[in-house]
Amino acid sequence: MSGAVEATGLVKRYKEVTALDGLDLHVPEGTVLALLGPNGAGKTTAVSILATLLQPDAGSATVAGADLLASPAEVRRRIGLSGQFAAVDEHLTGFENLDMIGRLYHLGRAAARARARALLERFNLTAAADRPVKTYSGGMRRRLDLAGAIVAEPPVLFLDEPTTGLDPRGRTEMWGVIRALVGRGTTLLLTTQYLEEADQLADDIVVIDHGREIAHGTADELKARVGGERIEITVTSPDAVEPARLILDRFSDGRAQVARSRTVTAPISGGPGAFREVLAAIEEAAIAVYDVGLRRPTLDDVFLALTGHAAQPSEEAEPNGEAS
Amino acid sequence: MKGLLRLAVDSHVIAKRNVIKIKRVPEVLVFVLISPIMFVLLFAYVFGDSIAIPGGSYREFLIGGIFAQTVVFGATFTGAGLADDMQKGIMSRFRALPMSRAAVLVGRTASDVIYNVLSLAIMAITGLIVGWRLHTGPLEAAAGFALLLAFAYAFSWVMAYVGLLVPSVEVINNASFMVIFPLTFIANTFVPSENLPGVLRAFAEWNPVSAVTQAARELFGNIPPGTPEPSVWPLQNAVAYTLIWVVAIIAVFAPLAVNRYRRRP
């Protein structure tokens, strides 16, 4: 029953905003939970509370067996945290950063140095080890930041949006690094705005919005609710939206919905074959289209399917899901 | 590891990190050192002939004031350094580590003493060039510098607290000017406090910056013979009054700052 992370009824309010509104989390030991949601959904707040950076207004939690409120110092000994904004010192070298963190975990001088060297090697940063971090690329910084989080080999790891802002290559690299980590039995709670990232890395996904859980399940379960691939049609005239929606509805496994003005989207299976059939039907109905695409579901689609509205403050859509 | 030992070890790690940063960004140090030189030269040559010090020279009088002003300004670095750490997110990393809750602040205030040692050294040399002299023995002179450093250290805890309260380096630089300028000018730093009008004079006489300035002048032997004894207790007992402030400031602001560090998101 007791997992590596157990949180019950976490609440955090700022003056008018309720950042967390009674969130429960259960992460069994050695598994990966992704907290999926748009900006402002409360993901960072949840991680900050579990990493002892913030005090919840209500609720309780244990992390790696230590009670969050009663013994935060004990929690800090058992966790690693890597934030959304790479929290490494840009004037120090990669080695100096990791060495410092090791010392602050009280590994001892020799052990901290050895550990820093080993991690730099493992994260493919040895060549840059003695260069100030400000000369690093975004992906290198993220890897160093992640290395900093695992200096003390903590049983529980929190990663807050580990790939936000990385280019697709940096993202893929980061995924590889994270997978290798998890393979060693670390329990991981990660936050992300990307359904694909949650799909790639997590055993279990909690979708949150406005500080509340709105869905919970494996990637497959969520996809079953959202549909696998989606077809998206943008029509040129507002009058064509409804006819296009009706056509999509015929071919869709789920329901076609109006995503934005003049854009209709629906889950579809059958890949390019089904895609061609839809195109033919659109042609037959003489609907003028501006754009038609087939793509994998994004956070927006999850939100559409689960709540009927788009993820509210999402600035970034999934960048690498286009297949049109 | 037990509390105090852990505090010492962790603070040392943090201080070491800050020292590395001083070496990596020498531009900061250059400006830290140039501004006191500029102040010494400006005041010595611009006001030097228009402000009369009975029985002595203005340049001898000036140096104690410049010393005091510069070390108080130096405290801004403590606040700016902490604000910068928060902006960059590394503070969150520190706060999630199982390290002493006071170490980031103790390490920071300790490493910032280096700025003050260096700027005092540069100012002393500049002072010697423009005609300032020590008229006392090495022990008294050393006591003078030590007192200035102690006051600077205490004041850096004030700015540490402010640095944790405000969101950015820019804000702290502006906010500290609003506090530090009046504090260092409504004092006996640049003109004898007797020359100031009513309310300002009372403020100046009880201002700890005046006391540390007066104490430095006494310990360096920069008070001309025949100068009348100050009329208020703080300036009559400048060393004791300064030390009281040093203890009081640390006693109030160190716990405030540490508490703020614990709670800050």
C-beta separation of B4 from A83 below 8 A: no
A-B Cβ pairs (cutoff 8 Å, strict): 73
Question: How does pLDDT run across B164-202, given as a tens digit for each residue?
Answer: 998 788 888 888 888 888 999 999 998 888 888 889 999
Identify the pLDDT of residue A320: 33
Q: Of A83, A92, A105, which has the smallest distance from its Cβ to B97's Cβ?
A: A105
Residue A1 has pLDDT above 50, yes or no: no
Identify the pLDDT of residue A315: 38
Asked if A132 is an interface residue toward chain B (Cβ–Cβ < 8 A), one would say: yes
Domain A5-222 annotated CATH 3.40.1500.10 = no
Which residues make up the CATH 3.30.70.100 domain(s) of chain A? 229-295
Amino acid at A158: F
In this prediction, residues B126-133 reach a mean pLDDT of 90
CA distances from A70 to A60, A81, B101 (A): 10, 20, 16
Residue A76 has pLDDT above 70, yes or no: yes
Residue A292 has pLDDT above 90, yes or no: no
Identify the pLDDT of residue A311: 62
Q: At A35, list the tokens.
A: 């907290």
Asked if B251 is an interface residue toward chain A (Cβ–Cβ < 8 A), one would say: no
Measured N-to-C along each axis, helices B58-88 and B169-185 cross at an angle, to the nearest 10 degrees, of 160
Asked if A86 is an interface residue toward chain B (Cβ–Cβ < 8 A), one would say: yes
d(CA B53, CA A159): 65
Identify the pLDDT of residue A316: 36
Residue A318 has pLDDT above 80, yes or no: no
Nearest-CA neighbor of A189 among A4, A62, A12, A2?
A: A4
Amino acid at A13: R
Query: For chain B, which residues make up each domain, given as ranges?
Result: 3-263
Residue A79 has pLDDT above 90, yes or no: yes
Question: Taking a contact as any Cβ pair under 8 Å apart, which residues of chain B between 42 and 81 contact chain A?
Answer: none
What are A294's strand-pairing partners?
A231
Instruction: State CA B64 to chain mean position distance.
Output: 12
Nearest-CA neighbor of A94 among A138, A143, A133, A137?
A: A133
Q: What pLDDT band is residue B12 in, cutting at 50, 70 and 90?
A: very high
Identify the pLDDT of residue A310: 65
d(CA A125, CA B16): 23
Measured N-to-C along each axis, helices B138-165 and B169-185 cross at an angle, to the nearest 10 degrees, of 140
Contacts for B258 with CB less than 8 Å, ≥ 6 apart? B101, B102, B105
Beta-carbon separation of B96 and A81 below 8 A: yes
Q: What pLDDT band is residue A199 in, cutting at 50, 70 and 90?
A: confident
Which residues make up the CATH 3.40.50.300 domain(s) of chain A? 5-222
Highest mean pLDDT among A44-58, A223-237, B44-58: A44-58
Q: Is A192 helix (H, G, I), strand (E, B) or coil?
A: strand
Q: Is B114 helix (H, G, I), strand (E, B) or coil?
A: helix
Question: How does pLDDT run across B140-154, given as a tens digit for each residue?
Answer: 999 999 999 999 999
Residue B6 has pLDDT above 70, yes or no: yes
Contacts for A103 with CB less than 8 Å, ≥ 6 apart? A109, A112, B9, B10, B13
Asked if A64 is an interface residue toward chain B (Cβ–Cβ < 8 A), one would say: no
Beta-carbon separation of A77 and B24 below 8 A: no
Q: What pLDDT band is residue B263 in, cutting at 50, 70 and 90?
A: confident
Q: Is A293 helix (H, G, I), strand (E, B) or coil?
A: strand
C-beta separation of B91 from B85 below 8 A: yes
Identify the pLDDT of residue A279: 87
Q: Spelled out in words, what is the top-level CATH class assigned to the domain A229-295?
A: alpha beta
Asked if A87 is an interface residue toward chain B (Cβ–Cβ < 8 A), one would say: yes
Q: What pLDDT band is residue A314 in, cutting at 50, 70 and 90?
A: very low
Q: Is A163 helix (H, G, I), strand (E, B) or coil?
A: coil
Q: Is A251 helix (H, G, I), strand (E, B) or coil?
A: helix
Q: Is A277 helix (H, G, I), strand (E, B) or coil?
A: helix
Nearest-CA neighbor of B191 among B40, B43, B74?
A: B43
d(CA A206, CA A214): 8
Beta-carbon separation of B89 and A85 below 8 A: yes
CB count within 10 Å of CB A260 equals 11
Identify the pLDDT of residue B52: 77
Residue A139 has pLDDT above 90, yes or no: no
C-beta separation of B227 from B55 below 8 A: yes
For residue B25, the chain A residues in CB contact (below 8 A) are 91
Q: What pLDDT band is residue A194 in, cutting at 50, 70 and 90?
A: confident
Identify the pLDDT of residue A221: 81
C-beta separation of A265 from A158 below 8 A: no
Identify the pLDDT of residue A304: 73
C-beta separation of A10 from A59 below 8 A: yes
Asked if A90 is an interface residue toward chain B (Cβ–Cβ < 8 A), one would say: yes
Question: How does pLDDT run across A89-128, given as a tens digit for each residue?
Answer: 999 999 999 999 999 999 999 999 999 999 999 999 999 9
Asked if B99 is an interface residue toward chain A (Cβ–Cβ < 8 A), one would say: yes
Q: What pLDDT band is residue B232 in, cutting at 50, 70 and 90?
A: very high
d(CA A101, CA A113): 10
Residue A324 has pLDDT above 50, yes or no: no
Stretch among A79-88, A201-210, B177-186 having the lowest mean pLDDT? A79-88
Residue B210 has pLDDT above 90, yes or no: yes
Identify the pLDDT of residue A40: 84
Identify the pLDDT of residue A29: 93
Alpha helices in B166-231 (DSSP H): 169-185, 198-206, 208-220
Q: At A189, list the tokens.
A: 């709670």
Beta-carbon separation of B89 and A89 below 8 A: no
d(CA A48, CA A52): 6
Residue B253 has pLDDT above 90, yes or no: yes
Mean of pLDDT over chain B: 91
Contacts for B178 with CB less than 8 Å, ≥ 6 apart? none
C-beta separation of B132 from B123 below 8 A: no
